[in-house]
Amino acid sequence: MFIPTSLILPVILLLLLLPALSTAQSSKSSISSLPSSDSPPSPTQCPPCNDAGPIRLAYLINIHNSRTLKDAVSLLNAISAPNNLVLIHVDKKFPEVEWRGSELERIIENCGGCGTREMHSVADCKWGGWSMNEPVIWALDFLTFTYRGVFDKFITLSGDSLPTLTNEAMSSVVDQCLAGNNVVTSVWSETGFLPTRSTYFPEGWHKRTAYSHPIKLDYVQGGVNVSKDVHVYFGSQWMMLEPDFVYYIGESMRDSESLANSLKRAYLRDRRVVTDETFFPTLLMESGRFNSTLPGGGEGGIDVPGCEWIKTVRYERMDEHTPNAFGDLPNKQRYKAVEGTESKVWGPYFLGIYDLKDIKDSGALFIRKVSKEVEPNIYLMFPQENRAATEALPDIDWGSDGLNYEITKRPDFPWFNKEKELHARQKRESKKLGGGVGGGGEL
């Protein structure tokens, strides 16, 4: 076929450009399907899978913003194992376009063979309201009716948490030290492993004010109509639960006449706050079936031989804007919050190297809240292979070697001495009566 000389150059250029044009069209199609321009299309490198432990651990990781989405990658990599189950809940108010295609989702989608891992978004959580419970209730329902029988302990975590032990060591410790136990408190709980009844706090205390009296509930239990004044107990939404308690709540939330739903209706009717700190501890204490499943031991640690070093299962710094019920106020500095993040004076505060001694002393199995954007060095410390390795870490704290470090200023409390004197007096009077502050000794 004859091609005029005047067309030879354009034809050559067209032939040279065809592959590029084809590639450009293909790339445009791929890019348009990506959730955001900062999510690279290259495949995720799969992190190594951890060794399986003697028992099967099920986790819920809660994510609510871009920082916890990034932080959760380290957490997922630390807790994944062939016999573990990890459920991830993303707050519905966090735009889907921002977490679809993220590193976390790509690990879940592309890296199989390391246990069951799923990512869902079902609840819009509003701080202080009932909706804060919905991700946990969703997970409990999922474990009860979809994954029943495939786990030995259920653990709830925030995305900015980190285990202090490797999966194999964690599984062994939980099996040895917490078998048969439900843990619904954290290090800042006033009464250790025992949830704190609201009336145990002094009058005027915000937690006692929120629940100053028992709640009258009518429900059906075991086919019997029950009318009862139910005391409210404070604990933590970050829990470690036995399968039986998981199934109890999962089944109860599908029963409109249950204690659980009666309590939920009362919370909604009365517009109760901080229900995520009270709902599950109250169910455990008032169920009549599970209040004997709390770990034994107090400040001296769990009363299981070889487990006394565990004084709490979670270490976090909370409520340092006010003295606690015993009149104590931690005198510590704080790490600066991530840029663009509000630094709440009541916590939880970010943790770092200067909290290392307190973390060690607490014997905590998990720590919250950590972020590589705030203090990446803490990730060099945890998780450790065993407790002995943790104990070998240096004792670094905010007052090491007699020095005082100031990263952010601690709030000024001009009224503190007066408050401390008041609560110290209440404590002395309570001891004379043989009971706790404001609670007559009964929890």
Q: What is the pTM of this model?
A: 0.81
Position 340 confidence tier, pLDDT thresholds 50, 70, 90: low
Q: Are strands 153-158 and 240-241 parallel, antiparallel or unpaired?
A: antiparallel
**Main-chain phi, psi angles of 225, to 5 degrees:** -70, 130
pLDDT one-digit tens code per residue, 4-56: 444 333 333 334 333 333 333 322 222 222 233 344 334 458 999 999 999 99
**Separation between Cα atoms, residue 51 and residue 105, nearest integer Å:** 22
In DSSP notation, 88-106 reads EEE-TTS-HHHHTT-HHHH
- The pLDDT > 90 percentage for the chain reads 59
CB 242 within 8 A of CB 182: yes
**What is the distance of C-alpha 405 from the center of its chain?**
28
What is the token pair recorded at 197? Answer: 């009844």
Q: What is the pLDDT of residue 36?
A: 39
- Which helix (H) or strand (E) element contains residue 30? helix 5-33
CB 374 within 8 A of CB 338: yes
Query: Is the model's pLDDT at 2 over the cut of 70?
Result: no
Furthest CA-CA distance within the chain:
113
What are the Cα distances from residue 63, in Å, to 86, 283, 311, 361?
13, 25, 27, 28
pLDDT one-digit tens code per residue, 216-256: 999 999 999 999 999 999 999 899 999 999 999 999 999 99
What is the token pair recorded at 44? Answer: 């995720």
- For residue 114, the 8-state DSSP code is S
Q: What is the pLDDT of residue 431?
A: 58
Position 408 confidence tier, pLDDT thresholds 50, 70, 90: confident
SS3 string of 362-413?
A: HCCCEEECCCCCCCCCHHHHCCECCHHHHHCCCCCCCCHHHCCCCCECCCCC
* 3-class SS of residue 120: strand
The 10 Å CB-count burial string (b at 16+, else e) for 342-353 is: eeeeebbbbbbb
Degrees, nearest 5: CA angle 295-258-135 = 65
Average pLDDT, the chain: 82
* 3-class SS of residue 280: helix
Beta strand extents in 239-313 (DSSP E only): 240-241
pLDDT one-digit tens code per residue, 124-174: 998 888 999 999 999 999 999 999 999 999 999 999 999 999 999 999 999
End-to-end CA gap in the chain = 98
AA letter at 394: P
What is the token pair recorded at 219? Answer: 């429900």
What is the token pair recorded at 174? Answer: 């939980």
* 3-class SS of residue 205: coil
Q: What is the pLDDT of residue 210?
A: 85
Residues 6+ apart with CB under 8 A from 154: 58, 59, 60, 139, 140, 143, 239, 240, 241, 242, 243, 246
